[in-house]
Amino acid sequence: MKPWSYRLALIASIVVAILQFVPIDRRSPPITSAATLNATEAVPAQVQAVLVRSCRDCHSDETHWPWYSYVAPASWYISHDVHEARSKMNFSRWGTYSRSKRAHELEEICNQLMDEKMPLPAYALLHPIARLTQEDRAAVCEWTSSPRP
């Protein structure tokens, strides 16, 4: 390598090291068990398994932050995605939603799964267990479209 490339590599390394000190919000609010999806809906075991492995990390307050979520700049992207997902739909706060919002979210869950928009491709790439089969998608959609008491 030429002298200028050593300097560039050193500067880039220093910048990446400094970026590690930028604080990221990885907090999860306390969960009120009576407000969770499981407390307010009858969720079949197969559907529950899909939601846990493919949706919970982003769409609940039970996020498991992997090691790479502590390394900038990946940490910024992951934190942003989790907070955005929670703001759109949060299984930990399901019981606080109105009936119409719940109905809308159930419909949207099926739409997102059938359009293969969820789980996000980047998430599925890093979490192979989160990848859904057509059977998984069909089971969730059957549940989301079933009558509610």
User: Quick one: DSSP state of residue 59?
Assistant: H
Task: Report pLDDT digits (tens) over 9-19.
Answer: 878 887 777 77
Residue with tokens 């009936």: 99
Instruction: Round to whole Å and give the CA distance between 100 and 144.
Output: 13
Q: Which residues contact 42 (CB under 8 A, 6 or more apart)?
A: none
- Summarize pLDDT for 107-119 with one digit per residue, the tens: 999 999 999 999 9
Q: What is the pLDDT along the chain (149 residues), one digit of tens a residue?
A: 578 888 888 788 877 777 777 777 777 888 899 999 999 999 999 999 999 999 999 999 999 999 988 888 888 899 999 999 999 999 999 999 999 999 999 999 999 999 999 999 999 999 999 999 999 999 999 999 998 77
Helix%, strand%, coil% for the chain, nearest 5: 65, 0, 35
Domain extent listing, the chain: 3-145
Q: Measuring CA to CA, which residue among 59, 35, 63, 71 is closest to residue 108?
A: 59
Write the burial class of residue 65 (CB in 10 Å: 0-12 exposed, 13-18 middle, 19+ buried): middle
